[in-house]
Structure 1
Amino acid sequence: MKNCEILQSLPKEGLKPRQFLRHCFGIASLSPPELLEEETDSQYRRKCISVLCAVFDVQRPTVRKWGSDLNFDGIPNYCKFALAYIHAAEIVPKELKSILQGEYSAPLVDAQTFLEKILLYGLTEQQVLQTVSHANFRATCVKTLTQVLHIGTKSVQDWGQDMSFRKMPTIHKHTLGYALAAISKSSKAWDKQAA
């Protein structure tokens, strides 16, 4: 289970949408008057909504429910962590053009694939058998997912009884994709190993 150490490279705090969007649009280092000018542009909020819709693969009404201003205070906490993973992986602003043109596809990684990469990659067949047959393996899977997704244990347990967690909502599969991208970006050695 030493591969779990790789999770330590993930951001420890979520990123607020406003800060994330400022990084996306390359305006985070502007002075307050310059920020005000950029953020009060008539098209800025529309573009912000487009970015959030694209990275989470959700509809515009969902993002609008998160708030009527640029803070999007109603965004779920787990989404703030996904934003931190996206930022750490440097996906945006690199993908900004494709996002605004509606051509971006958010990464999608199911629970089993994620858990195999984190918990089982690099183990011999014998070690894999020992690991998955251990009495605590399911608890380790649940703990790993709750740690990465920043959601409650009960939610994860309700997604299924095996490693596939088939009932996992799609938005969390996107978060797992961003988490793998962030891990890959921060750990070149792991990236080469997992390739």
Structure 2
Amino acid sequence: MKAREFCQRWFKSTPEEEQVRGYRERCVALLARVLRVKENTIQRWGSGIDFEDMPEQYEVTLAYADIIRELIERTQSQTDLLQEVLGQSHDRK
């Protein structure tokens, strides 16, 4: 997964929001945290929000991180239900 797409999906950003001042810095900080590299390293991957010089090895990591994010988002509402069900089964004992 390309860095720009990862940031778009993470922040749920529109093309207009990508133009807002500070968006690139938010992406740099996010990528640094997820990829466990220094922000300075990410800054050197190119100007703008495409990060065209990002090494391909990181694309796989971003794809995995996005899958995890998606799974958490999809199951978050179900977590309350799961806890409720588990609570009920615990009360029956």
Q: Report what 1:119 is aligned to.
A: 11
C-alpha distance in structure 1 between counterparts of 2:54 and 2:29, whole Å: 15
CA distances 1:149-181 after superposition (whole Å, capped 9, x unpaired): 111011100001011101101111110000011
What is the TM-score with the length of structure 2 in the denominator?
Answer: 0.71
C-alpha distance in structure 1 between counterparts of 2:72 and 2:66, whole Å: 10
Counterparts in 2 of 1:184 and 1:132: CA distance versus 1, 3 Å: closer
5 Å-filtered alignment, 1:156-175, equals 156-175=42-61
Deviation at 1:185, TM superposition (A): 2.0
2:36 aligned with 1:144, yes or no? no
What is the TM-score with the length of structure 1 in the denominator?
Answer: 0.36
More helix by share: 2
Equivalent AA in structure 2 for residue 187 of structure 1? E
C-alpha distance in structure 1 between counterparts of 2:71 and 2:18, whole Å: 28
Deviation at 1:189, TM superposition (A): 5.8
Secondary structure class of the residue paired with 2:58: helix
Deviation at 1:184, TM superposition (A): 1.8
The runs of 5 or more residues in structure 1 that have no matched partner are: 1-108, 191-195
Q: Report what 1:135 is aligned to.
A: 21
C-alpha distance in structure 1 between counterparts of 2:28 and 2:71, whole Å: 24
C-alpha distance in structure 1 between counterparts of 2:75 and 2:49, whole Å: 26
CA distances 1:62-111 after superposition (whole Å, capped 9, x unpaired): xxxxxxxxxxxxxxxxxxxxxxxxxxxxxxxxxxxxxxxxxxxxxxx011
2:2 aligned with 1:110, yes or no? yes
Q: Report what 1:14 is aligned to.
A: none
Q: How many residues align?
A: 76
Q: Report what 2:68 is aligned to.
A: 182
Q: Report what 2:90 is aligned to.
A: none
Deviation at 1:139, TM superposition (A): 0.8
5 Å-filtered alignment, 1:1-195, equals 109-121=1-13, 128-129=15-16, 131-188=17-74
Secondary structure class of the residue paired with 1:176: helix
The runs of 5 or more residues in structure 2 that have no matched partner are: 77-93
CA RMSD of aligned residues (A): 1.9
Q: Percent identity?
A: 24
Secondary structure class of the residue paired with 1:180: helix
